[in-house]
């Protein structure tokens, strides 16, 4: 197949592109490069041993999308493009609605005009809301989210459901996942956020490599065993393989599937695991809670195993080793001379 990957030079998109290429698919990346680098496309090609096409453009730009679908015979879309910082989304909701929700509508409109009706959507566990019991199971449905980021993901899922109901030719899977970490084992692809990281692992790695003074842990008084938030951390390559598995089972209709390990780990447990694996001490300080964070959540991934024959297989040590290899090889991220 020829697959369009929106947000394709981003963290998850780039790793998924490698997996898709290695599986024999052709891949077109669409990215506005607001939080990524064109260098990523070169590295995807390097790792996969096959060329990838990069188009610089935005999912909110209908002209760019229409031209892309005219020039490329796209079979399916994997849709990652979107703003994703929970705290920022609460402070600045309008850009999140404009980019994530309106951008997805623009993408779906362009797909409809091009008669491309297969999509795997990068959703989130946040759609389960702030009162769902753990572990999260797909049958729970969506709940009341407590941050704008989660609300945009929930709204997009509802839009996709309405689209599926209106036109049974659409094949749609929403993958609800948790906290991706790690990097490609080559050390050539990894997470390189702009500015101060919003996610735990790049923050830990940047402190360890000397880019930042200390790790800020948002809240130490949650109702969890050690007082810090607990999450379902999943290796980004397991996640990438989950998108390939979803593409392989796409069929008319719509479904939602969790991708996770089913095992929650706290912030402090992640810090200790990194220190144990790397031998590097990570100075940290507990600061005030971050608005929009839940105490804990993790996945029940039984459906992914049953429906897609997919399971997370990489270990916590793999996550730490691959993160550290990436950061050591790229201390300033992609901001280097190739």
Report, as residue numbers or ranges, the catalytic residues: 149
CA nearest to 202, candidates 301, 326, 27: 326
CA 308, 53, 194, 106 torsion-angle sign: negative
DSSP three-state, residue 122: strand
Q: How many angstroms separate the CA atoms of 150 and 289, rounded?
A: 18
In this structure, the number of other CB atoms found within 10 A of the CB of residue 252 comes to 13
Residue 8, phi then psi, degrees to nearest 5: -75, -15
Cis peptide before 267 (omega within 30 of 0): no
Q: Are strands 230-231 and 53-56 parallel, antiparallel or unpaired?
A: unpaired
**What contacts 247, CB < 8 A, 6 or more positions away?**
1, 3, 20, 76, 78, 118, 120
First-to-final CA distance of the chain = 31
């Amino acid at each position: 197949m020829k697959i369009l990957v929106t947000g394709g030079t981003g963290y998850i998109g780039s790793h998924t592109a490698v997996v898709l290429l290695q599986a024999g698919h052709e891949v077109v990346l669409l990215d506005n490069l607001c939080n990524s680098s064109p260098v990523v496309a070169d590295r995807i090609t390097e790792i996969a041993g096959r060329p990838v096409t990069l188009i610089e453009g935005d999912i909110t730009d209908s002209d760019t999308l229409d031209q892309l679908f005219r020039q490329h015979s796209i079979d399916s879309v994997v849709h990652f493009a979107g703003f994703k910082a929970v705290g920022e989304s609460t402070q600045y909701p309008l850009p999140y609605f404009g980019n994530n929700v309106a951008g997805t509508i623009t993408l779906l409109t362009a797909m409809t005009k091009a008669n491309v009706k297969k999509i795997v959507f990068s959703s989130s566990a946040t759609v389960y809301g702030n009162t769902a019991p753990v572990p999260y199971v797909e049958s729970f449905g969506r709940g009341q989210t407590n941050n704008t980021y989660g609300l945009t993901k929930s709204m997009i899922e509802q839009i996709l459901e309405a689209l599926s109901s209106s036109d049974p030719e659409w094949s749609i899977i929403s993958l609800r996942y948790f906290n991706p970490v790690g990097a490609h084992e080559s050390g050539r692809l990894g997470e390189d956020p702009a500015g101060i990281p919003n996610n735990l692992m790049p923050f830990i790695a940047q402190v360890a490599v000397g880019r930042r003074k200390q790790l800020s842990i948002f809240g130490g008084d949650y109702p969890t065993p050690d007082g810090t938030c607990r999450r379902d951390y999943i290796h980004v390559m397991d996640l990438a393989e989950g998108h390939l598995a979803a593409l392989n089972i796409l069929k008319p209709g719509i479904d939602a599937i969790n991708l996770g390990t089913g095992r929650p780990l706290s912030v402090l447990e992640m810090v200790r695991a990194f220190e144990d694996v790397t031998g590097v001490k990570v100075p940290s300080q507990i600061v005030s809670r971050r608005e929009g964070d839940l105490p804990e959540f993790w996945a029940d991934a039984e459906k992914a195993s049953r429906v897609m024959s997919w399971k997370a297989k990489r270990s916590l040590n793999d996550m730490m080793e691959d993160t550290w290899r990436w950061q050591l090889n790229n201390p300033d991220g992609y901001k280097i001379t190739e």
